[in-house]
Amino acid sequence: MDHASFRPTWQQAFAHGLYLGGIAAIGVLLLTALLALAGAFEPPGELWLAATVGLPVAGAVLGLLVGRVTGTQISARGIRTGSVVAPWDEVVDLRAERRGGRTVVSVYLDSGASVQLQAPYSGELFAVDPKFEGKMFTLSHLWRSHRFGGLPG
């Protein structure tokens, strides 16, 4: 049974997909322009429109679909984010840290390794999560409860 689950907000998922779609569009446009300049390829006008508009829009939609199923699950066994599972007895600290333009949650393990959680996080523009502080408090409370007192589970 999960005690809590944290996922990127829909705005965060949308923006991440839009960003990746924009990068893909730039790559396709550059490759197409280079091939056209070399005379190896005569791109139709629709290709330019599809790459310029279609890829970012497709990325945004894909970001909404994929971004909402990624995240972090907290259970009686520990913290799971992506494919990493950190059992409670290995977690020695949990901190909010600045990484680039974001505030993320890092979990420190007794092995000395650290794991950055996929969610929650907060940043600028679309990456803002107005509930980040509350989510961080919940995570901290759950960790302290398991570390020092335990929750039924």
Local structure of 31: helix, strand or coil: helix
Pairing of strands 72-75, 84-87: unpaired
What confidence tens digit (pLDDT) does each residue in 46-97 have? 888 888 888 899 999 988 888 878 889 998 888 998 888 999 889 999 999 9
Extract the runs of DSSP E, i.e. beta strands, from the chain: 2-6, 72-75, 78-81, 84-87, 91-99, 102-109, 114-122
Query: Distance between terminal CA atoms of the chain?
Result: 8
Q: Look up the CATH architecture of domain 72-149.
A: Beta Barrel (2.40)
Domain range summary for the chain, segments of one domain joined by +: 8-67, 72-149
Decide: 43 and 32 in contact? Cβ < 8 Å.
yes
Whole-structure pTM value: 0.76
* pLDDT confidence of residue 4: 83
- Mean of per-residue pLDDT scores for the chain: 87
